Protein backbone atom coordinates (compact mmCIF):
# COMPACT_ATOMS: atom_id res chain seq x y z
CA UNK A 1 0.00 0.00 0.00
CA UNK A 2 1.36 3.48 -0.85
CA UNK A 3 2.55 5.60 2.09
CA UNK A 4 0.33 8.39 3.49
CA UNK A 5 0.45 11.45 1.30
CA UNK A 6 1.19 9.39 -1.79
CA UNK A 7 -0.98 10.32 -4.80
CA UNK A 8 -2.43 7.52 -6.93
CA UNK A 9 -3.27 8.41 -10.53
CA UNK A 10 -5.70 6.22 -12.43
CA UNK A 11 -7.65 6.82 -15.62
CA UNK A 12 -10.40 5.19 -17.65
CA UNK A 13 -11.56 5.85 -21.22
CA UNK A 14 -15.02 6.44 -22.64
CA UNK A 15 -16.26 3.81 -25.08
CA UNK A 16 -17.80 3.52 -28.50
CA UNK A 17 -19.96 0.51 -29.01
CA UNK A 18 -19.25 -0.46 -32.63
CA UNK A 19 -22.27 -2.75 -32.71
CA UNK A 20 -24.47 -4.74 -30.32
CA UNK A 21 -26.95 -2.31 -28.75
CA UNK A 22 -29.22 -3.28 -25.85
CA UNK A 23 -27.90 -6.82 -26.07
CA UNK A 24 -25.94 -6.74 -22.80
CA UNK A 25 -28.88 -7.20 -20.44
CA UNK A 26 -30.21 -9.90 -22.81
CA UNK A 27 -27.16 -12.14 -22.32
CA UNK A 28 -26.14 -11.38 -25.93
CA UNK A 29 -23.05 -10.02 -27.69
CA UNK A 30 -21.48 -6.59 -28.25
CA UNK A 31 -18.33 -5.27 -29.90
CA UNK A 32 -17.02 -2.06 -28.28
CA UNK A 33 -13.74 -0.13 -28.43
CA UNK A 34 -12.31 2.44 -26.03
CA UNK A 35 -12.08 6.09 -26.98
CA UNK A 36 -8.72 7.85 -26.80
CA UNK A 37 -10.37 10.37 -24.39
CA UNK A 38 -10.07 9.46 -20.69
CA UNK A 39 -11.28 10.54 -17.27
CA UNK A 40 -8.39 10.80 -14.80
CA UNK A 41 -8.52 10.58 -11.03
CA UNK A 42 -5.77 11.77 -8.66
CA UNK A 43 -6.38 10.26 -5.22
CA UNK A 44 -4.51 11.08 -2.00
CA UNK A 45 -5.71 8.58 0.65
CA UNK A 46 -5.53 9.52 4.34
CA UNK A 47 -7.01 8.44 7.68
CA UNK A 48 -10.18 10.53 7.49
CA UNK A 49 -13.72 9.16 7.35
CA UNK A 50 -14.73 10.89 4.14
CA UNK A 51 -13.69 11.34 0.54
CA UNK A 52 -13.64 14.92 -0.69
CA UNK A 53 -14.02 14.98 -4.48
CA UNK A 54 -13.43 17.84 -6.85
CA UNK A 55 -14.06 17.88 -10.58
CA UNK A 56 -12.50 20.26 -13.06
CA UNK A 57 -16.00 20.61 -14.53
CA UNK A 58 -17.73 21.65 -11.27
CA UNK A 59 -17.34 24.66 -9.00
CA UNK A 60 -17.84 22.99 -5.64
CA UNK A 61 -16.18 19.94 -4.08
CA UNK A 62 -18.44 17.21 -2.69
CA UNK A 63 -17.84 15.45 0.64
CA UNK A 64 -18.76 11.77 0.61
CA UNK A 65 -18.90 10.01 4.01
CA UNK A 66 -17.34 6.56 3.74
CA UNK A 67 -20.49 5.03 5.20
CA UNK A 68 -22.62 6.65 2.49
CA UNK A 69 -25.80 4.84 1.41
CA UNK A 70 -27.94 5.25 -1.73
CA UNK A 71 -29.85 8.53 -1.58
CA UNK A 72 -27.10 10.51 0.23
CA UNK A 73 -25.38 12.03 -2.79
CA UNK A 74 -26.80 12.93 -6.18
CA UNK A 75 -25.55 14.58 -9.38
CA UNK A 76 -22.12 13.76 -10.83
CA UNK A 77 -20.62 12.81 -7.44
CA UNK A 78 -23.19 10.01 -7.05
CA UNK A 79 -21.04 7.93 -9.44
CA UNK A 80 -18.11 8.34 -7.04
CA UNK A 81 -20.20 7.75 -3.92
CA UNK A 82 -21.75 4.69 -5.59
CA UNK A 83 -18.32 3.11 -6.05
CA UNK A 84 -17.41 3.81 -2.41
CA UNK A 85 -20.68 2.22 -1.32
CA UNK A 86 -20.46 -0.81 -3.65
CA UNK A 87 -16.82 -1.51 -2.69
CA UNK A 88 -17.63 -1.44 1.02
CA UNK A 89 -20.74 -3.56 0.48
CA UNK A 90 -18.51 -6.15 -1.17
CA UNK A 91 -16.26 -6.12 1.91
CA UNK A 92 -13.40 -4.03 0.52
CA UNK A 93 -11.58 -1.31 2.43
CA UNK A 94 -11.99 2.28 1.23
CA UNK A 95 -9.76 4.94 2.83
CA UNK A 96 -10.91 8.55 3.04
CA UNK A 97 -8.91 11.25 1.36
CA UNK A 98 -8.96 13.82 -1.42
CA UNK A 99 -9.79 13.01 -5.00
CA UNK A 100 -9.46 15.26 -8.05
CA UNK A 101 -11.29 14.26 -11.22
CA UNK A 102 -10.42 15.62 -14.64
CA UNK A 103 -12.91 14.60 -17.24
CA UNK A 104 -11.81 14.11 -20.81
CA UNK A 105 -14.90 12.15 -21.88
CA UNK A 106 -17.81 14.19 -23.25
CA UNK A 107 -20.88 13.86 -20.99
CA UNK A 108 -24.42 13.22 -22.25
CA UNK A 109 -23.18 11.93 -25.62
CA UNK A 110 -23.70 8.21 -25.07
CA UNK A 111 -19.96 7.62 -24.72
CA UNK A 112 -20.16 6.15 -21.20
CA UNK A 113 -18.63 9.13 -19.38
CA UNK A 114 -20.30 7.99 -16.16
CA UNK A 115 -18.86 4.47 -16.40
CA UNK A 116 -15.45 6.03 -17.19
CA UNK A 117 -15.71 8.05 -13.96
CA UNK A 118 -16.84 5.00 -11.97
CA UNK A 119 -14.07 2.75 -13.34
CA UNK A 120 -11.39 5.41 -12.78
CA UNK A 121 -12.47 5.94 -9.15
CA UNK A 122 -12.63 2.19 -8.60
CA UNK A 123 -9.19 1.60 -10.09
CA UNK A 124 -7.68 4.40 -7.99
CA UNK A 125 -9.11 3.01 -4.74
CA UNK A 126 -8.09 -0.60 -5.53
CA UNK A 127 -4.64 0.52 -6.47
CA UNK A 128 -4.26 2.65 -3.30
CA UNK A 129 -5.26 -0.25 -1.07
CA UNK A 130 -3.37 -2.90 -3.04
CA UNK A 131 -6.61 -4.87 -3.56
CA UNK A 132 -6.58 -7.52 -6.30
CA UNK A 133 -9.88 -7.81 -8.13
CA UNK A 134 -10.26 -9.25 -11.62
CA UNK A 135 -11.79 -7.11 -14.35
CA UNK A 136 -15.15 -8.87 -14.36
CA UNK A 137 -15.34 -8.34 -10.58
CA UNK A 138 -14.49 -4.67 -11.05
CA UNK A 139 -17.13 -4.32 -13.76
CA UNK A 140 -19.78 -5.80 -11.47
CA UNK A 141 -18.93 -3.38 -8.65
CA UNK A 142 -18.99 -0.37 -10.97
CA UNK A 143 -22.30 -1.58 -12.42
CA UNK A 144 -23.79 -2.04 -8.95
CA UNK A 145 -22.79 1.54 -8.12
CA UNK A 146 -24.65 2.77 -11.19
CA UNK A 147 -27.70 0.49 -10.83
CA UNK A 148 -28.32 0.66 -7.11
CA UNK A 149 -26.72 3.89 -5.92
CA UNK A 150 -27.37 6.13 -8.93
CA UNK A 151 -30.53 4.30 -10.00
CA UNK A 152 -29.78 3.75 -13.71
CA UNK A 153 -30.81 0.19 -14.72
CA UNK A 154 -27.91 -0.32 -17.16
CA UNK A 155 -26.13 -3.54 -18.20
CA UNK A 156 -22.43 -4.41 -18.09
CA UNK A 157 -21.44 -3.20 -21.55
CA UNK A 158 -19.80 0.08 -20.58
CA UNK A 159 -17.74 -1.25 -17.68
CA UNK A 160 -16.49 -4.35 -19.52
CA UNK A 161 -15.67 -2.27 -22.60
CA UNK A 162 -13.66 0.21 -20.53
CA UNK A 163 -11.85 -2.40 -18.43
CA UNK A 164 -10.94 -4.81 -21.26
CA UNK A 165 -10.17 -2.35 -24.07
CA UNK A 166 -6.91 -2.54 -26.00
CA UNK A 167 -5.33 -0.25 -28.56
CA UNK A 168 -6.26 -1.01 -32.17
CA UNK A 169 -8.57 -3.82 -31.09
CA UNK A 170 -12.29 -4.26 -30.48
CA UNK A 171 -13.62 -6.51 -27.73
CA UNK A 172 -16.18 -9.18 -28.56
CA UNK A 173 -18.11 -9.56 -25.31
CA UNK A 174 -20.35 -12.54 -24.62
CA UNK A 175 -22.65 -11.40 -21.83
CA UNK A 176 -23.94 -14.89 -21.08
CA UNK A 177 -20.68 -16.15 -19.64
CA UNK A 178 -18.94 -12.75 -19.36
CA UNK A 179 -16.02 -13.67 -21.60
CA UNK A 180 -14.17 -11.22 -23.80
CA UNK A 181 -12.26 -12.00 -27.01
CA UNK A 182 -10.39 -9.31 -28.81
CA UNK A 183 -10.44 -8.81 -32.59
CA UNK A 184 -8.28 -6.44 -34.66
CA UNK A 185 -9.73 -2.97 -35.23
CA UNK A 186 -7.38 -0.77 -37.18
CA UNK A 187 -9.38 0.88 -39.96
CA UNK A 188 -6.57 3.41 -40.59
CA UNK A 189 -4.30 0.59 -41.79
CA UNK A 190 -6.92 -0.24 -44.44
CA UNK A 191 -7.40 3.37 -45.61
CA UNK A 192 -10.67 3.70 -43.69
CA UNK A 193 -11.57 6.18 -40.92
CA UNK A 194 -13.91 5.78 -37.98
CA UNK A 195 -15.86 9.04 -37.73
CA UNK A 196 -17.49 10.03 -34.45
CA UNK A 197 -20.35 12.44 -35.07
CA UNK A 198 -21.75 13.96 -31.88
CA UNK A 199 -25.26 15.23 -32.58
CA UNK A 200 -25.00 17.34 -29.41
CA UNK A 201 -28.56 16.33 -28.58
CA UNK A 202 -28.06 15.03 -25.07
CA UNK A 203 -29.27 11.55 -24.30
CA UNK A 204 -30.37 10.24 -20.91
CA UNK A 205 -31.15 6.76 -19.74
CA UNK A 206 -31.88 6.87 -16.05
CA UNK A 207 -35.34 7.78 -17.41
CA UNK A 208 -38.20 5.71 -18.66
CA UNK A 209 -37.32 4.62 -22.20
CA UNK A 210 -34.29 2.49 -21.30
CA UNK A 211 -36.17 0.72 -18.50
CA UNK A 212 -39.15 0.30 -20.81
CA UNK A 213 -37.03 -1.48 -23.47
CA UNK A 214 -35.53 -3.69 -20.82
CA UNK A 215 -38.98 -4.62 -19.51
CA UNK A 216 -40.17 -5.47 -23.06
CA UNK A 217 -37.25 -7.87 -23.54
CA UNK A 218 -37.81 -9.50 -20.16
CA UNK A 219 -41.52 -9.91 -20.89
CA UNK A 220 -40.79 -11.50 -24.27
CA UNK A 221 -38.32 -13.97 -22.76
CA UNK A 222 -40.74 -14.86 -19.94
CA UNK A 223 -43.64 -15.34 -22.39
CA UNK A 224 -41.49 -17.75 -24.39
CA UNK A 225 -40.35 -19.57 -21.26
CA UNK A 226 -36.61 -18.86 -21.57
CA UNK A 227 -34.29 -17.15 -19.05
CA UNK A 228 -33.10 -14.65 -21.68
CA UNK A 229 -33.65 -13.88 -25.36
CA UNK A 230 -30.24 -15.43 -26.07
CA UNK A 231 -31.74 -18.84 -25.29
CA UNK A 232 -34.17 -18.74 -28.22
CA UNK A 233 -33.26 -20.99 -31.16
CA UNK A 234 -33.91 -18.22 -33.72
CA UNK A 235 -36.26 -15.43 -34.83
CA UNK A 236 -38.99 -17.92 -35.86
CA UNK A 237 -39.57 -18.52 -32.12
CA UNK A 238 -40.89 -14.96 -31.86
CA UNK A 239 -44.01 -15.74 -33.88
CA UNK A 240 -45.45 -17.25 -30.68
CA UNK A 241 -45.49 -13.81 -29.02
CA UNK A 242 -48.89 -12.12 -28.83
CA UNK A 243 -47.53 -8.69 -27.83
CA UNK A 244 -46.40 -7.26 -31.18
CA UNK A 245 -44.33 -4.46 -29.63
CA UNK A 246 -42.38 -6.91 -27.48
CA UNK A 247 -41.92 -9.12 -30.55
CA UNK A 248 -40.28 -6.24 -32.45
CA UNK A 249 -38.02 -5.39 -29.54
CA UNK A 250 -36.97 -9.03 -29.29
CA UNK A 251 -36.42 -9.24 -33.05
CA UNK A 252 -33.91 -6.39 -32.77
CA UNK A 253 -32.02 -8.20 -30.02
CA UNK A 254 -31.81 -11.46 -31.96
CA UNK A 255 -30.83 -9.85 -35.26
CA UNK A 256 -28.33 -7.57 -33.50
CA UNK A 257 -26.61 -10.54 -31.82
CA UNK A 258 -26.06 -12.09 -35.24
CA UNK A 259 -24.76 -8.80 -36.65
CA UNK A 260 -22.22 -8.58 -33.82
CA UNK A 261 -20.87 -12.05 -34.65
CA UNK A 262 -20.81 -11.21 -38.37
CA UNK A 263 -19.02 -7.91 -37.68
CA UNK A 264 -16.37 -9.63 -35.54
CA UNK A 265 -15.76 -12.12 -38.36
CA UNK A 266 -15.56 -9.31 -40.94
CA UNK A 267 -13.08 -7.40 -38.77
CA UNK A 268 -10.94 -10.52 -38.57
CA UNK A 269 -10.71 -10.29 -42.37
CA UNK A 270 -10.32 -6.45 -42.28
CA UNK A 271 -13.43 -6.31 -44.50
CA UNK A 272 -14.62 -2.81 -43.58
CA UNK A 273 -17.18 -2.70 -46.40
CA UNK A 274 -18.97 -5.66 -44.80
CA UNK A 275 -18.71 -4.09 -41.34
CA UNK A 276 -20.17 -0.87 -42.75
CA UNK A 277 -23.22 -2.69 -44.10
CA UNK A 278 -23.76 -4.29 -40.70
CA UNK A 279 -23.60 -0.87 -39.01
CA UNK A 280 -26.30 0.43 -41.34
CA UNK A 281 -28.46 -2.65 -40.77
CA UNK A 282 -28.07 -2.15 -37.01
CA UNK A 283 -29.15 1.50 -37.35
CA UNK A 284 -32.29 0.39 -39.24
CA UNK A 285 -33.10 -2.22 -36.61
CA UNK A 286 -32.68 0.33 -33.80
CA UNK A 287 -34.90 2.73 -35.74
CA UNK A 288 -37.68 0.36 -36.79
CA UNK A 289 -37.72 -2.52 -34.28
CA UNK A 290 -36.18 -1.24 -31.06
CA UNK A 291 -37.26 2.37 -31.72
CA UNK A 292 -34.51 4.09 -29.77
CA UNK A 293 -33.25 6.51 -32.42
CA UNK A 294 -34.59 10.02 -33.12
CA UNK A 295 -35.29 11.80 -36.43
CA UNK A 296 -32.19 13.88 -35.79
CA UNK A 297 -29.96 10.81 -35.34
CA UNK A 298 -31.56 9.02 -38.32
CA UNK A 299 -30.88 12.02 -40.54
CA UNK A 300 -27.20 12.11 -39.54
CA UNK A 301 -26.74 8.38 -40.19
CA UNK A 302 -28.63 8.45 -43.51
CA UNK A 303 -26.81 11.54 -44.73
CA UNK A 304 -23.44 9.98 -43.93
CA UNK A 305 -24.32 6.86 -45.95
CA UNK A 306 -25.69 8.89 -48.89
CA UNK A 307 -22.48 10.91 -48.90
CA UNK A 308 -20.44 7.72 -49.31
CA UNK A 309 -19.86 6.25 -45.83
CA UNK A 310 -19.47 2.46 -45.83
CA UNK A 311 -22.06 2.41 -43.05
CA UNK A 312 -23.32 4.42 -40.08
CA UNK A 313 -25.28 3.90 -36.89
CA UNK A 314 -26.13 5.51 -33.57
CA UNK A 315 -23.96 4.23 -30.73
CA UNK A 316 -25.00 3.93 -27.07
CA UNK A 317 -28.25 3.72 -25.17
CA UNK A 318 -30.25 5.87 -27.59
CA UNK A 319 -32.49 8.92 -27.95
CA UNK A 320 -29.63 11.22 -28.96
CA UNK A 321 -25.88 11.16 -28.52
CA UNK A 322 -23.46 10.06 -31.23
CA UNK A 323 -23.44 8.42 -34.65
CA UNK A 324 -20.41 6.48 -35.85
CA UNK A 325 -19.56 6.03 -39.51
CA UNK A 326 -16.90 4.01 -41.30
CA UNK A 327 -15.65 6.09 -44.21
CA UNK A 328 -12.97 5.66 -46.86
CA UNK A 329 -10.21 8.10 -45.87
CA UNK A 330 -10.67 10.01 -49.15
CA UNK A 331 -14.39 10.61 -48.36
CA UNK A 332 -14.01 11.91 -44.79
CA UNK A 333 -14.24 15.60 -45.78
CA UNK A 334 -17.23 15.04 -48.07
CA UNK A 335 -19.16 13.03 -45.48
CA UNK A 336 -18.48 15.62 -42.74
CA UNK A 337 -19.55 18.48 -45.04
CA UNK A 338 -22.75 16.68 -46.06
CA UNK A 339 -23.73 15.99 -42.44
CA UNK A 340 -23.02 19.58 -41.36
CA UNK A 341 -24.99 20.96 -44.32
CA UNK A 342 -28.01 18.76 -43.60
CA UNK A 343 -28.01 19.85 -39.94
CA UNK A 344 -27.88 23.49 -40.99
CA UNK A 345 -30.73 22.98 -43.45
CA UNK A 346 -33.04 21.68 -40.75
CA UNK A 347 -31.95 24.20 -38.12
CA UNK A 348 -30.14 21.71 -35.85
CA UNK A 349 -27.04 22.42 -33.78
CA UNK A 350 -23.74 22.01 -35.57
CA UNK A 351 -22.50 18.48 -34.77
CA UNK A 352 -18.90 17.87 -33.73
CA UNK A 353 -17.20 15.47 -36.13
CA UNK A 354 -13.82 13.84 -35.56
CA UNK A 355 -11.83 10.85 -36.77
CA UNK A 356 -11.17 8.55 -33.84
CA UNK A 357 -9.53 5.21 -33.10
CA UNK A 358 -9.47 2.38 -30.56
CA UNK A 359 -7.55 3.41 -27.43
CA UNK A 360 -6.31 1.48 -24.38
CA UNK A 361 -8.39 0.37 -21.42
CA UNK A 362 -8.48 1.61 -17.83
CA UNK A 363 -5.12 1.78 -16.09
CA UNK A 364 -2.56 4.04 -14.47
Residues 194-253 touching ligand GLA, rule: CB under 6 A, are: 205
Choice between 19 and 326, CB closer to ligand GLA: 19
Count the neighbouring beta carbons within 10 Å of the beta carbon of residue 178.
Answer: 14
Q: Choose which of 158, 246, 289, 302 interacts with ligand GLA (CB under 6 A).
A: 158
Residue 309, phi-psi category: left (phi > 0), alpha (psi -120 to 50), beta (remainder): beta
- Is 158 part of the annotated catalytic residue set? yes
21 in contact with ligand GLA (CB under 6 A): yes
Min CB(292)–ligand GLA separation in Å: 8
Enumerate the H helices of the chain as residue ranges. 78-89, 113-129, 135-144, 157-164, 208-223, 244-268, 272-288, 295-306, 332-345
Min CB(38)–ligand GLA separation in Å: 17
Tell me how far apart the alpha carbons of residues 171 and 18 are, in angstroms, rounded to a whole number. Answer: 10
Distance of CA 132 to the CA centre of its chain: 24
Min CB(19)–ligand GLA separation in Å: 10
Choice between 158 and 289, CB closer to ligand GLA: 158
- Contacts with ligand GLA by CB under 6 A: the residue count is 13
Choice between 143 and 277, CB closer to ligand GLA: 143
Min CB(112)–ligand GLA separation in Å: 6
Min CB(186)–ligand GLA separation in Å: 24
Q: Choose which of 11, 16, 19, 22 interacts with ligand GLA (CB under 6 A).
A: 22
Choice between 21 and 246, CB closer to ligand GLA: 21
Look at residue 208 and give its three-state secondary structure: helix
Q: Choose which of 157, 160, 194, 264 interacts with ligand GLA (CB under 6 A).
A: 157
Min CB(260)–ligand GLA separation in Å: 11
Tell me how far apart the alpha carbons of residues 131 and 350 are, in angstroms, rounded to a whole number. Answer: 45
Residues 305-324 touching ligand GLA, rule: CB under 6 A, are: 316-317
Q: Which listed range, 18-26, 40-48, 57-65, 85-93, lies at the site for ligand GLA (CB under 6 A)?
A: 18-26
Min CB(17)–ligand GLA separation in Å: 6
289 in contact with ligand GLA (CB under 6 A): no
Q: Choose which of 109, 154, 257, 303 interacts with ligand GLA (CB under 6 A).
A: 154
Active-site annotation holder among 158, 198, 246, 289: 158
121 in contact with ligand GLA (CB under 6 A): no
- Long-range (24+ apart) CB contacts under 8 A made by 191-194 are 191/328, 191/329, 191/330, 192/272, 192/310, 192/326, 192/327, 192/328, 192/329, 193/326, 193/327, 193/328, 193/329, 193/332, 193/355, 194/16, 194/324, 194/325, 194/326, 194/355, 194/356, 194/357
What burial letters (b/e) apply to 295-310, b meaning 16+ CB within 10 Å? Answer: ebbbbbbbbbbebebb
CA triple 177-173-233, angle to 5 deg: 65
Bridging pattern class, strands 322-328 and 192-198:
antiparallel
Inter-residue contact 256 to 289 (CB < 8 Å): no
Q: Which listed range, 34-42, 150-158, 180-188, 230-238, lies at the site for ligand GLA (CB under 6 A)?
A: 150-158
Q: Choose which of 14, 155, 187, 320 interacts with ligand GLA (CB under 6 A).
A: 155
Interacting residues toward ligand GLA by CB under 6 A: 17, 21-22, 24-25, 112, 154-155, 157-158, 205, 316-317
The residues annotated with a catalytic role in the active site are 158
Amino acid sequence: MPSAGHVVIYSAPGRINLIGEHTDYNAGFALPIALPERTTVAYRPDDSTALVVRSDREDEPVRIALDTVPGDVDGWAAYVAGVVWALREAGHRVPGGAMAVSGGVETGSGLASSAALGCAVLGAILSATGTELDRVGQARIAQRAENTYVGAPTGLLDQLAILFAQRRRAQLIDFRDLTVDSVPFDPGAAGVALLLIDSRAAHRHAGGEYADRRASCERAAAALGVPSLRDLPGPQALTALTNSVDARRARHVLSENQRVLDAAAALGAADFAAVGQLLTASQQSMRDDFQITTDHIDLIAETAVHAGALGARMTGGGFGGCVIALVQASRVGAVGDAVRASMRRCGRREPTIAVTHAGRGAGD
